[in-house]
Amino acid sequence: MRHHKKGKKFGRVRNQRKAFFSGLASNLILREKIQTTHPRAKALVEYTEPLITKAKRGDKFSRALLSSKLSKKALEKLFKELAPRLKGRKGGTIRIIKSGRRRKDGAPMAFVEFIA
Per-residue pLDDT of 19-34, as tens digits, reads 999 999 999 999 999 9
> d(Cα 93, Cα 101) in Å, to the nearest integer?
25
| Residue 116 predicted with pLDDT over 80 | no
Record the pTM.
0.93
Q: When comparing pLDDT for 98 and 91, which is higher?
A: 98
Q: Which domains does the chain have, with CATH numbers?
A: 14-114 (3.90.1030.10)
Dist CA 112 CA 76 (whole Å): 20
Please state the rounded mean pLDDT for residues 4-24: 94
One-letter amino acid of 96: I
45 and 94 Cβ atoms separated by less than 8 Å? yes
